[in-house]
């Protein structure tokens, strides 16, 4: 399966001047919502991801995704693995589990994102699960931006990866492209454009 081609075919692999959720700037942006707009594609991707997890012998009871980005991929993956699905969301910048979602004592969770960049939001969701008595056993995403190391990839973990070393990350593909501190962004220095975050405001 050529994941990069699927992203390109769905107009989900954008070129421009972008502001990522992690705060960094980049010339490229993966808009996973566009890939997941077709439920058939979502199912194909989730099923490939589910296979990696079952092949690795990882048992989970439930999936939790950080809102909003991870919700569709997490839900689609939960459907494939036959487990329940909840999400965590930010309330005044703090990741929180609301809406009556329960975490049972020692329940085994996988945290699912659409894309893992540094893994910051995924880690915050994981901390919430563990604070509520659950146990996080693995992470998953459709795409890995190459800062963290996923299973079956030789990419070296970068120092800005926030995910714990002792939990596996499953992802379908590595998408490696440069990201810049806003103060050191060549696209900003060019002065022709301002970074924007796709999916926000009118974008
Ligand atoms: Zn910039």
Q: What is the pLDDT, as a whole number, of residue 20? A: 85
**CA distance linking residue 173 with residue 180, whole number of Å:** 21
What order do you get walking across the sheet with 94-96 strand by strand? 94-96, 84-91, 62-66, 108-116, 135-144, 169-174
- Whole-angstrom CA distances from 198 to 10, 18, 60, 201 are 15, 7, 33, 8
Q: Could you give the angle at which helices 71-81 and 39-55 cross, rounded to 10 degrees?
A: 60
Residue 1 banded pLDDT, cuts 50, 70, 90: confident
The average confidence (pLDDT) of the chain is 94
pLDDT at 185 over 60: yes
Q: What is the pLDDT, as a whole number, of residue 198? A: 82
| Distance from Cα 170 to the centre of ligand 1, integer Å | 30
Closest CA to 125 of 164, 168, 87, 169: 87
- Whole-angstrom CA distances from 164 to 15, 38, 84, 148 are 31, 32, 24, 10
Q: pTM for the complete prediction? A: 0.91
- Identity of the highest mean pLDDT range in 19-28, 120-129, 151-160: 120-129
pLDDT at 203 over 90: no
Portion of the chain with pLDDT greater than 70, in percent: 98
| Distance from Cα 49 to the centre of ligand 1, integer Å | 32
| Distance from Cα 22 to the centre of ligand 1, integer Å | 13
Q: What is the mean pLDDT of residues 181-195?
A: 96
Q: What is the mean pLDDT of residues 189-196?
A: 94
* Domains of the chain, earliest start first: 32-190 (3.40.50.2020)
| Distance from Cα 20 to the centre of ligand 1, integer Å | 10
Q: Read out DSSP for 68-82?
A: TTTHHHHHHHHHHHT
């Amino acid at each position: 399966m050529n994941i990069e081609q699927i992203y390109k075919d769905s107009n989900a692999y954008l070129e421009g001047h972008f502001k990522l959720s992690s705060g960094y700037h980049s010339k490229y942006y993966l808009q996973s919502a566009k890939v997941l707009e077709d439920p058939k594609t979502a199912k194909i991707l989730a099923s490939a991801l589910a296979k990696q997890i079952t092949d690795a012998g990882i048992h989970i009871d439930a999936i939790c995704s950080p809102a909003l980005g991870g919700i569709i991929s997490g839900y689609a993956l939960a459907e494939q693995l036959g487990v329940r699905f909840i999400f965590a969301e930010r309330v005044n910048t703090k990741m929180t589990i609301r809406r009556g979602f329960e975490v049972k004592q020692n329940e085994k969770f996988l945290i699912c994102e659409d894309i893992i960049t540094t893994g910051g939001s995924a880690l915050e969701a994981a901390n919430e699960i563990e604070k509520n008595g659950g146990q996080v056993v693995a992470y998953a995403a459709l795409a890995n931006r190459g800062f963290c190391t996923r299973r079956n990839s030789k990419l070296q973990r970068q120092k800005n990866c926030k995910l714990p070393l002792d939990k596996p990350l499953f992802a379908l593909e590595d998408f490696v492209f440069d990201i810049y501190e806003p103060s050191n962004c060549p696209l900003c220095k060019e002065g022709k454009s301002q970074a924007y975050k796709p999916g926000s405001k009118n974008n």
